[in-house]
Amino acid sequence: MTLELEALQERVLRPKRPQLERAREVLAGVHAPREALELAAGNGLCPLEWIEDPGRAFGGKSHSPRRVPHGVDAVLAMVSDPEGVVEAETLLREAHHRAARWSKYIVPQSLVYWKVAGPAIARRGVRTANRSAVPIGVPSFSIYTVEPRVWQDAMAKVELESFPYEPSRGWFARFARRLIGESSYESQKCTYWRGEWARALADARWSLAMRQAVEDHQQAWAYALFAEAGYRLGDVVPQSLFVAIDGARRDELLSSLPNVYEPVAQLWWTGYATHYMDFGHIELHLPPLELEPD
């Protein structure tokens, strides 16, 4: 099992936008966003329903959402990739519906808000400070919250030989083993994996957004591993973390509960990303037509 990091990097905040050239031609000289959206729909660039789509907003309150982007560039970005936009919205809604299975306070949303991002979004990252990719109440399955023995036992149960993105063992693995004094092969393997994921997340070549994409894939993969190994939530998540998690879930099999991180990870491959997801609100980033150069 591997994670193709180079392929993922090519997709992070880079929608395909197959209609961009034609959209530029159709909207050339237009300055009003609503006029641009109506013109795009009239020329078949997007469905007519997009003019007043009840499932999409660009600001405002839930009782009075703004249906049209604030600028023509945002309209251009949307109508140049209508299938990608719909796929991203579908994945975010699915993630929120899955999250609702974890907490009685989460109300599944059909209205997706779009946040028009600036060119520095890749460098600055996609999440509001100190927020997770999922709502409070959905547990984390990171290398920092799950004990090493749990990783080792789960891998043994599913007969898994390696973790995602596990290159050949090198000096870092040897150094980490000497540093903490672990000697068994299973402990060495877990230590090495933790180190390599940390290296991937801190790699200076990558933007913060790319590191966040890797984190979301890690969470999705870890959940799938523990579910396949037949674990219950209480087997994996420490007691101290149940403050924010519904205690009634403790004895439930992870395989019986939905993997919220799976659609969140898939979303990155559309070129869009989650900005915000809480109990009653979901929001996507609309990447600009041009990002800051790497």
Residues of the chain with pLDDT under 70: 1-2, 129-130, 161-202, 204, 241, 243-244, 294
| Residue 114 counted as domain residue | yes
**pLDDT given at position 79:** 98
| Residue 41 counted as domain residue | no
Q: How many domains does the chain have?
A: 1
Percent of the chain with pLDDT over 90: 54
| Residue 12 counted as domain residue | yes
Q: For residue 264, what are the domain limits?
A: 5-16+81-286
**pLDDT given at position 162:** 62
| Residue 59 counted as domain residue | no
| Residue 248 counted as domain residue | yes
**pLDDT given at position 197:** 65
**pLDDT given at position 170:** 46
pTM above 0.85, yes or no: yes
Instruction: Please tell me what DSSP assigns to residue 293.
Output: P
**pLDDT given at position 200:** 67
| Residue 27 counted as domain residue | no
**pLDDT given at position 270:** 98
Sign of the alpha-carbon torsion through 125, 128, 134, 139? positive
| Residue 74 counted as domain residue | no
| Residue 143 counted as domain residue | yes
**pLDDT given at position 250:** 85
**pLDDT given at position 188:** 58
65 forms beta bridges with: 60
> Distances in Å between the alpha carbon of 196 and those of 2, 79, 160, 205?
13, 39, 17, 15
